[in-house]
Amino acid sequence: MNLIKLQSNKEGRPLFGQQTSRITLFLFFTYVILCVFVSVFPYEIHDSDSSAYSSIARKLAYQPINTWCAPDWGGHGYNYGLFREHPPGALWITALFIRIGVPESSAAFCANFLYIFLSLYFIYLLTSYFGGPLLGWGAVFAYAFTPIFLQYLIRANHEHPLNLAVIAGIYGLVRSEESWKYKVIFVVSLIFAFFVKGIFAFILTILALVYWIVFLRNRRTLLFIVLANLFALGIMFLFELWYRQVTAGIGFWVNYINLQSGRGVVTGFNPLRKIYNLIWYLGRAIWFPAPWVFFIFYGAYKWRKEKVSLLKDKLFKLSVISAGCIIFWFSLFDRKADRYIFPAYSFLVLAGVWVLLRLKPKLMRFLEKRKNMLPVYLSAVLIIFTLLRILFHIRFYRFINLWPG
C-alpha cells in the first residue's frame, strides 16, 4: 500500500515563515467581511436557543458591567427572572461586541464567527504539531466542508465556544511540558468552558485525564491537571460570590445544577436508555463529520489487510479516543441533541483527514504545490459559505432530521 509519512511540527515552525503576520491580517479582514455580511443582509434567527441567547445578551449590554454575572430573561419566550440555564460567559462576548458598536442584530453572529476562526486556528495548531503544516491545513479545510460546520456557521449557540475550549485545551495540554504558555492555554480554556457550559465543561477534564492515562502517566502532568481544575473551580467560587452580591444572596451554582440535573436525568439510570442514546449519538457521529469520518472505516479496512494498526499514530489515537469519550459521556444523560457532542465531530474530522492523507500521498503533494494560496482559498470558502447560508437560510434552516430521537 502506498503510504506517506506525515512529518510533525513539534518545533512550531510556521508554514509561511515571515508571511505569518500577513496571513493573520488577511484572515482578520475575512472575519470582518463575514461580520459585515450578517450586519447588512437580513438574517432571522429560527432556533430557540440562538434567539434566547442573542436577546438576553442585547439586554445585558446596556446594564452595568458589574452586574453582568446575573443576566435576566427579560420576558423572552415569556420567561422572566434570572437566567440560570447556563453560566453567562458566552453572553458576555456578545454584549461586549454591542458595547463597542456592533449592531445588536448581528453581534451574536459576529461572536460566533470569532469562535469559529479561533477554533480553526487551534485545529491547525493541534494537527500540525503531530503531522506537519500541510496536515493542519487539510484538517482546517475538511472541517469547513462538513454538515455540522455549515449548519452552525451562523448561530448564537454555545457549541462553537465549547468546541474552541476543548480543542484549545487539548492543544495546551499536549504541549504543557514545553512551556508555561501552553499550561496557561489549558487553564484559560478550562475556565472558559466552565463559564460557557457549566458542569458540561468537565468533558475537558475527562479528556485531559484520558490523555494522561493513555499517553503520559507522569506525576507532574497529573498534578498540573488537578491543580488546573482546582484553580478553575476557585474561579467559579469567586463567580458565585459575585453572583450572590449582585442578586442579594441568591446563589447560582446550586440552582443551575438542580435545573440541569432535573433535565438531564429524567428517568433515572436506565441501561437500555443509555444504550439507545449511545446508538443515537453514533448515528450523528457518522453524518455530521461526513465525508471525512468514512475514511476512518476505509483506513481500518486497508490497514487490517496490511496488518498495520491505525492506533500507532498519536494524533489518530488521540482523536478517536477523544471523540469516543465525548459520545459516551453525553450518552449518560437523558436529554439528547446533535450539538451536545459538537467537539466529537471535530476530532472525527481530524482522524479521517489523517487517514486520507496517509493513504493518498498525491493529496499532500497537491497541498504542497498550493501552500502559499491556502489562506486565500480558505477565505474564499468562508465567504462563499456564509453568503450561501444567508441566501438559503429560510428554506434550509437545518438539515433533514431522519432520526429525531
Q: Which pTM was predicted?
A: 0.91
What average pLDDT score do residues 376-391 get?
Answer: 93
Q: What is the pLDDT of residue 161?
A: 96
Q: CA 222, CA 324: separation in Å to the nearest integer?
A: 21
- Digit-coded pLDDT (tens) for 277-320: 999 999 999 999 999 999 999 888 877 777 666 778 899 999 99
C-beta separation of 196 from 87 below 8 A:
yes
Q: What is the pLDDT of residue 263?
A: 59
- Digit-coded pLDDT (tens) for 318-330: 999 999 999 999 9
Q: Which three cell numbers stand for residue 373?
A: 494560496
- Digit-coded pLDDT (tens) for 43-67: 878 788 888 999 999 999 999 999 9
Task: Tell me which of 148-157, 281-290, 350-359, 393-402 is least confident.
Answer: 393-402
Q: CA 230, CA 236: separation in Å to the nearest integer?
A: 10
With b meaning 16 or more CB within 10 Å and e meaning fewer, what string describes 381-405?
A: ebeebbeebbeebeeeeeeeeeeee
Average pLDDT of every residue of the chain:
88
Q: CA 16, CA 145: separation in Å to the nearest integer?
A: 24
- Digit-coded pLDDT (tens) for 206-252: 999 999 999 998 999 999 999 999 999 999 999 999 999 999 999 99
Give 372's pLDDT tier (boundaries 50, 70, 90): confident
